[in-house]
Amino acid sequence: MEALHYNDVVRWLFSKHRSAGVLLGLERMKRACRQLGNPEETLRCVHVAGTNGKGSVCTKMAKAFELAGYITGLFTSPHISSFRERFEVHNMCISEEEVVEGIATIRRKCSDDLTFFEITTLLAFLWFQKMGVQMAVLETGLGGRLDATNVCHPELTVITSISFDHMNYLGNTLEAITAEKAGIIKEKVSVVIGPRVPVEIVRHEALLHQAALFIVEGSFTDFDAENSAIAAEALNLLNMPSRYIAEAICFRPSCRFQEVPTDLVLQKWGRAPLALILDVAHNPDGMERLVMKAKGAFMSSPLCILLAVSQDKDVSEMIESLRGAAAAIICTEALSPRAMPAAALADIVRKKSDDIQVMENSDLKEALSLALDFSASHQLPLIATGTFFFMSAVLQALGFDETVDQLELNCSHHNIPHFL
């Protein structure tokens, strides 16, 4: 039998995603779980949905379980640099060999109509089972009701926040989006919701399922403080000792208002901004919260923004949040089929605001150089933000040693091992 290699397997998986796209629904997933012996049925887990904040809440909760001595699994998406980041046990990513083994098992035992995210979720279930995970924290991919993760049997469900994103799949109103997210609520399983979740829709769903509803209240200007409060409430309900909660909520995933030391930037590039922040604010609500955080952190200093976005986002509303806060926006693009071209992004910025200096370059390193020139010469904070899909390139350009998958965007099925 032809040997399988990690890069070939993951390249095949991403080519499947590009060809099939997103297909919501649970029937394929339920069938595949049965074909694999229902690994999800024995998995103790917490299930987390929401528009923004769910990755951070998942990370904080998983860290608490880890501190308490549980063999802890964490399943999140998307990743920054490597597909393997989506699967963690005790802060260790799945190995390349285990990815190959798991996907080969799925391909051998399951039907061929599974989507990218369904296969990815099944891989998490199989690996967590193999690793003897005692508690898993699962982040939904898109929505909730029809998301592949919604075959799980959680001990608690969490909805972090609701705002506009993925409207082509979830609906054009907050009510419709909330109803989709609330689809993760299970019979007699308590649900925790954040302060920016429409309460009545969730309350109705909770009553239908006899699920106790717990609401985190408050007006948070800092998104990490809000995520921490949600995670703490959820962990309290799961009887987690307070000492572990206090330590765990200090953690957050990479590229969430992550500050890069300016001495490293100076050493690599010969110039440095007042501060350099990386943040995956990829929708209007995320951008608004990022600006609020930056204003507090930098005493309302004007910002220099290095921006890349995906074509399916409400870019106009994202730019609206930057008006009055950004002195300059340098537009670039990610190496992704969904990327909005830098020139198109720059056109939107110019139409939305005539008081922001706009520059553009489709080459990330050259765009970063422009951003560093402007922010260093004006001594302004520089924030690289927009989409997950260009953060890896930013980190590499800044000199970080990132483990990056070798996935050519124009790959075809002819160079994929026959077994797959």
Which domain range does residue 35 map to?
6-248
pLDDT, tens digit, for every residue of 269-288?
A: 999 999 999 999 999 999 99
Write down the H helix ranges in 110-173. Answer: 116-130, 167-170
Coil, strand or helix: which one is 382?
A: strand
Are 296 and 333 members of one domain?
yes
User: Average pLDDT for residues 244-255, to the nearest whole number?
Assistant: 96
Taking alpha carbons only, the member of 190, 187, 177, 111 closest to residue 140 is 177
- Out of 192, 225, 248, a domain closes at 248
Are 331 and 225 members of one domain?
no
The count of structural domains within the chain is 2
Are 222 and 312 members of one domain?
no
Write down the H helix ranges in 284-340. Answer: 284-297, 315-322
Are 243 and 262 members of one domain?
no
The CA-based diameter of the chain, rounded to the nearest angstrom, is 62
Residue 47 has pLDDT above 60, yes or no: yes
Beta-carbon contacts of residue 8 (< 8 Å; ≥ 6 apart): 415, 416, 417, 420
Are 45 and 183 members of one domain?
yes
Are 293 and 370 members of one domain?
yes
- Out of 226, 248, 270, a domain closes at 248
- Out of 181, 213, 248, a domain closes at 248
Beta bridge partners of 305: 329, 383
* φ/ψ (deg, to 5) at 164: -80, 120
- Domain of 366, CATH number, reads 3.90.190.20
Give the separation between CA 370 and CA 361, rounded to whole angstroms.
9
Write down the H helix ranges in 238-283. Answer: 242-248, 262-269
N-term to C-term CA, the chain: 11
Is residue 410 in a domain? no
Beta-carbon contacts of residue 12 (< 8 Å; ≥ 6 apart): 413, 416, 420
Is residue 52 in a domain? yes
Are 25 and 144 members of one domain?
yes
Residue 411 has pLDDT above 60, yes or no: no
Are 197 and 64 members of one domain?
yes
Distances (CA, A) of 37 to 121, 126, 331: 15, 10, 48
Residue 409 has pLDDT above 50, yes or no: no
Are 237 and 263 members of one domain?
no
Is residue 396 in a domain? no
Are 348 and 202 members of one domain?
no
User: Average pLDDT for residues 37-46, to the nearest whole number?
Assistant: 97
Q: Which pTM value belongs to this model?
A: 0.93
Is residue 264 in a domain? yes
Are 313 and 269 members of one domain?
yes
- Domain of 167, CATH number, reads 3.40.1190.10
pLDDT, tens digit, for every residue of 106-153?
A: 999 999 899 999 999 999 999 999 999 999 999 999 899 999 999 999
Is residue 308 in a domain? yes
Are 87 and 127 members of one domain?
yes
